[in-house]
Structure 1
Amino acid sequence: MSKTEKSERIPLYSERDRDNLRWLWSRYLRKKAPWLLVVLGMILVQGVVYQQFLSMTESGLRVIFESGSVADLVQVCIVVFVLFAVRGLMSYLVPRITIWASNDAIFHMRRDLIDHMMRLDLAYFERTKSGEIIQRLVTQTQALGVFVGQATANAVRDAVTVIIVSGYLIWKNPILFATAVVVLPFIIWVMNYVSNRVKIVQGEAETALGEYMNDIDEAVFGMRTVKIASQEEVETSRLMGGTSALRDLMNRVQITQALTMPSIDLSSAFVYVLVIGGGGYMVISPEFDVDGASIITFLLGMVMVFDPARLLAMFIGSLPSHFVILDRVRRLHDETPSITDKEGAVAEFDTGGDIVLEDVHFSYSEDQPLFHGLDMTFKGGEVSAIVGSTGSGKTTVLSLLTRLYDTKGGRITIGGQPIDELQVKALRSAYSVVAQDIVIFNNSIWENIRYVRPDATDEEVWQAAEKAEIADVIRRRGGAAVGPKGAQLSGGQKQRIAIARAFLTDAPIILLDEATSALDQATEARIKSALDRLTKGKTCIVVAHRLSSIADADRIFVLEAGQLVEEGTHETLLKQNRLYAQLYSAQKQGYDKDR
């Protein structure tokens, strides 16, 4: 054991584990309590069957050794067969009920986790790896299902068997049984040792598995870049590094768990030697009323005790791993969204009013503030543009307006109403967003457009597609899926899908974040009139890199390092000959060279 592991002694059953188990029971298992009681009853029947089998075995041996009655022997055989037929029936019904109950519990757990995950802030998804989320929703919940279902039922069955058979053996020969359990303290010590090491390494293994799944997701998503840059060997090396680390951690877990079985086997051998030696002496010695049938039955009983005891020990050895998994799943459930509806939040507000940022402070991290007293006013019904260099805070402004993040200070109002006093769903429903980062699902283009309004009619979808200049592509492709994350579409086609979505939602406030950045000039010119119709009479805020595309804006705001350094019309800003004029001149020269 390493020094870290020695100093970091973790209890098998901590207060956090108890709290997690209470959570699991109260939310997902308590409603199955009647069925679990039925299962417990069946397990008790199985334990009694074993005890009766021992009793009938001793009777059968005495028939063979003493009376020699064939009729009595046949009767014993029939009873034994009936007993095992009953046990066989219980062995079928117990897993069937427990599997149904556990799978149903995991279904409800996943449903709750998905529902809760969808309510979490964007910040959670930006700081949490996708592989870790997938791991919790898929592999870890499934592992919990096996744990609370079949594994636990089997462990209870084994424990009941050990208790009932041991009770019978104690009743038959307490001296011999007391001799057999002298190894119990050693077994307990082994289990404590194994459990502590497993709990430490399992936590590391779960973290490594989450990172590994995230690496695979990144590699698959970025395969186009990997192929173009001929970096297959680099990605192979990166993924194999994760594979190797995961292999080493799982080896440590499983090798540690493997210590349990040989320890118990050696203990069992020691016990059998004691039973055979001590029992043989009792048979030989006239001081004890013990015959050969009793000793053979006792040995058979010890086999019945130690075999389920071995399985029970394996289950106990796996408990730390499952406690770690349960804790990981619970932590997702315990994540608390910070962007929620305040008490008394309203749904009605003036969507055509001015959007005002007053003394807004914001930072993604405490040590790197972005906005420090930012003031901006977007006039209702006008087209406003935000420009600036990369990292100046352009897209962040849109994120604050839609409450993907909350300000650290100051306030944002629409029509004089603070947006944090509005219902989040009502606020976001007021926006149609065409973002640079477009989410495309592996479905048809038609369904990708309809995604923002599932109740839209076919005619409305077609109208939106026509206005966004994507209808011809739909006719060519039909209902064909566009591939994972729209892999079969060009950047311009993806952005036209996003524009079609904006036409379909027809919200009163339009947010365009680099909406035409992936379009060639000919395509941009074709849809410019459609965008003009979309924004007519509405409040429109455009984040643009191509300054020529926002020359007609009613007002242009120039950001630099989170500060508002200029604002005015295109002509006014050119006359001031400051940052905006420099950016525009540099872009114009670049366009002239391209021609």
Structure 2
Amino acid sequence: MTHAPKTKRAPLYTERDRENLRWLWTRYLRQKAPWLLLVLGMILVQGLVYQQFLSMTESGLRVIFDSGSVGDLVMVCIVVFVLFAVRGLMSYLVPRITVWVSNDAVFQMRRDLIAHMMALDLAYFERTKSGEIIQRLVTQTQALGVFVGQGVANAVRDAVTVIIVSGYLIWKNPILFSTAVVVLPFIIWIMNFVSDRVKITQGEAETAMGEYMNGIEETVHGMRTVKIASQEGVETHRLMKGTSAIRDLMNRVQITQALVMPSIDLSSAFVYVLVIGGGGYMVLSPDFDMDGAGIITFLLGMVMVFDPARLLAMFFGSLQSNMVLLDRIRRLHDVVPSITDKEGAVAEFDTGGDIVLEDVHFAYSADQPLFHGLDMTFRGGQVSAIVGSTGSGKTTILSLLTRLYDTQGGRITIGGQPIDQLTVSALRGAYSVVAQDIVIFNNSIWENIRYVRPEASDEEVWQSAEDAEIADLIRARGAAPVGPKGAQLSGGQKQRIAIARAFLTNAPILLLDEATSALDQATEARIKSALDRLTRGKTTIVVAHRLSSIADADRIFVLESGQLVEEGRHADLLRQNRLYAQLYQAQKQGYDKK
């Protein structure tokens, strides 16, 4: 009979854990080293207070049992009070300093993570759930900060107390202390057992929490669809399923951690029995220099050792959980952006030159290539339009032009200059974009327009609003916020905000991605003259679904499944009676039926 090989147990602290701790120390804590040394000094004072308390307790007991001097007893009481007053002061100052250090470390960590996140490629955000990002920036960094500021400081205090008090007890009676520590190997085994399981389960819990937060965000943002489709029950069930998973995982973590305290309590009881029995024998036997005051003090010292030892054991359990949090945070920081300024990148280029795609290859995934040798030329100062069915690659071309993605073969040039040899800020600063996916903030319409140029004057903002036919709505709404993601605005109002932003930016290259798709024909006709003014003298690339809106374009490119199948002016393409003509006639018949 064959037996399955045993799974090799992972080390308690992996090399990755040690790297993460070094990263946390060198990046966020080492600069606070003088303050941390001060904290360590105060913690040592706290430990010494306990040692002196034991010494004074033994002296006080001997005063009571032997000399009976009231004056000596009063003096002992005064000294004990002073000792604990000092410890109380240290107990106030230590958390004050450590919380300040940890909160500042969390602030710097979030600052760095936000800056790093802003530099990441669009592809990262398209493959990463927003709930996971929010979890790392908010809950995980805060939990880690609390652990560093309070958990670690308390653990160091407890460790110092155990070491100092144990040293004193060893000095007082090494034989009795040696008898008391026989349970130490058992406690270490318990901690390894618990820590190993806590680390695994905590990782699963953090993943489940990220999924849960993402589910909440999806439900809240899609509440309009949920209500219309009467799917409140489905969403409730979905969220409750996530809630149940988190509950079960956290139960596993806490049940495992709950093994620690009763194990240590039983160990403590065993130790106290040994100390009472062994110490009592030493008091009764004439062979040992031990009296009643000594045994009582030794027992009190063991209490002082085992109480912080219990807390220290709990710390090592929570340490594994926080190692998981630290690793999740570090992994976000370790993501390397691929869209960056290359060495020698320049900021100056001919923004009015031709935009040329030469033998461009691109795929979102290796098994589904989109462009395979695409060639296109957008003439400088002219209006070019890109049309085609859904999924043909229209919007992807705009993403490649702005380096939201890099080509995987071939090159793109502006005025003969490859765009990957330009600084990203200079390249993107040359574009005004009116996208199909419009980002609207929960602020006034005025501030939403001004977002693209915070330094713009009031006159410039008003002129942009007038040009985009949205000034009257600004006057009507005033400074009222528009709701999360512009929930209080219609699709057409949102697109007019985007058009107003393009007027305000006034960049030399204009990209219009379905810029009028949410406008009715009457509104589109009203702002057509404004769009004509906006495109005048600029290189304009229009992605359009409504073909009637691009009939005046200087050149129209027709895409199908990532391939350029036609190009020319509107009238020429109609005469050719191919794909463009078919799309145009199908749309015209659809409008005629309305």
What range is the shorter-chain TM-score in?
Answer: over 0.9
Please name the residue that 1:419 is paired with.
419
1:294-313 matched pairs, under 5 angstroms: 294-313=294-313
TM norm structure 1: 0.98
Q: Aligned equivalents of 1:98 and 1:14: distance in 2?
A: 27
**1:500 equivalent in structure 2:** 500
SS across alignment from 1:53: helix
**Secondary structure class of the residue paired with 2:180:** helix
Kept in 2: contact 1:5–1:200 (CA 8 A): no
Change (3 A) 1:4 1:404: farther
Could you tell me how far 1:227 is from its partner in structure 2? Answer: 0.9
Counterpart for residue 121 of structure 1: 121
SS, match of residue 364 in structure 1: strand
Counterpart residue number, 2:34: 34
- Write the distance in 1 (CA, Å) between the matches of 2:438 and 2:247: 37
Could you tell me which amino acid in structure 1 is paired with residue 368 of structure 2? Answer: Q
Q: CA deviation at 1:184?
A: 0.4
Deviation by residue 1:12-63 (Cα, 9 ceiling, x = unmatched): 2111111111111111101100000000000000000000000000011111
Name the CA distance, whole Å, in 2 between partners of 1:555 and 1:149. 63
1:132 aligns with 2:132: yes
TM-score normalised to structure 2 length: 0.99
2:13 aligns to what? 13
1:522 aligns with 2:522: yes
Query: Which SS does the other structure have where 2:135 is aligned?
Result: helix
Partners in 2 of 1:457 and 1:241 — Cα distance?
51
Residue 226 of structure 1 is matched in structure 2 by 226
| Aligned-partner Cα distance in 1 for 2:295–2:474 | 82
After superposition, the Cα gap between the structure-2 partners of 1:395 and 1:6, relative to the gap in structure 1 and judged at 3 Å, is farther
Cα offset for 1:475?
0.6
In the other structure, the counterpart of 2:66 is 66
Contact 1:5 1:197 in 2 (8 A): no
Residue 169 of structure 1 corresponds to: 169
Residues 254-293 of structure 1 correspond to what in structure 2 (within 5 A)?
Answer: 254-293=254-293
Distance in 2, matches of 1:301 and 1:48, equals 13
Query: What is the identity, as a one-letter code, of the residue corresponding to 1:179?
Result: T
Shift of 1:10: 2.6
Deviations 1:496-544 (A, max 9, x none): 0000000000000000000000111111111110000000111100001
> Structure 2 CA distance, aligned partners of 1:423 and 1:94?
48
Secondary structure, aligned partner of 2:257: helix
**Large movers: runs of 4+ above 2 Å:** 3-10
The percent of aligned pairs where both chains have the same amino acid is 87
Question: What is the letter of the counterpart of residue 443 of structure 2?
Answer: N
How far does the alpha carbon of each residue in 1:382-439 deviate from its partner, in whole angstroms, 9 at most, with x for none? 1111011110000000000000000000000001100000010000000000000000
Match of 1:565 in 2: 565
Cα RMSD (Å): 1.2
User: How far does the alpha carbon of each residue in 1:186-231 deviate from its partner, in whole angstroms, 9 at most, with x for none?
Assistant: 0000011111111111111111111111111111111111111111
One-letter code aligned to 2:186: F
Number of matched pairs: 592
Counterpart in the other structure of 1:249: 249
What CA distance in whole angstroms lies between the structure 2 residues aligned with 1:554 and 1:259?
Answer: 76
Deviation at 1:8, TM superposition (A): 6.1
* Cross-structure match for 2:85: 85
Which residue identity lines up with residue 197 of structure 2 in the other structure? R
- CA distance, structure 1, for counterparts of residue 224 and residue 466 of structure 2: 30
CA distance in 1, matches of 2:5, 2:50: 42
2:55 is aligned with 1:55 = yes
Task: Check 1:510–1:316 CA distance in 2 against 1; reply closer, same or farther (3 A cut).
Answer: same
What is the letter of the counterpart of residue 43 of structure 1? Answer: I
1:390 aligns with 2:399: no
Deviation (angstroms), 1:9: 2.5
CA distance in 2, matches of 1:472, 1:75: 85
In structure 1, what is the Cα distance between the partners aligned to 2:4 and 2:27? 36
Match of 2:179 in 1: 179
User: 1:4, CA displacement in angstroms?
Assistant: 12
Secondary structure of 1:512's match?
strand
Q: Which runs of 5+ in 1 are unaligned?
A: none
Structure 2 distance, partners of 1:414, 1:303, is: 77
Structure 2, gaps ≥5 residues long: none
Structure 1 position 7, deviation (Å): 2.6
TM-aligned CA deviation for residue 6 of structure 1: 7.3
Instruction: Quote how far apart the aligned CAs of 1:289 are.
Output: 1.4
Write the deviation string for residues 134-164 of structure 1: whole angstroms up to 9, x where unpaired.
0111111111111211110000000000000
Q: Could you tell me which residue of structure 2 aligns to residue 407 of structure 1?
A: 407
3-state SS in 2 of match to 1:347: coil
Q: Distance in 1 between matches of 2:582 and 2:209?
A: 50
Alignment of 1:94-243 (within 5 A): 94-243=94-243
User: Counterpart amino acid of 2:536?
Assistant: K
Amino acid across the alignment from 2:224: R
2-side partners of 1:27 and 1:114: how far apart? Answer: 15
Q: Which amino acid aligns with 2:54?
A: L
1:477 aligns with 477
Counterpart of 2:310 in structure 1: which amino acid? R
Q: Which residue is equivalent to 2:25? A: 25
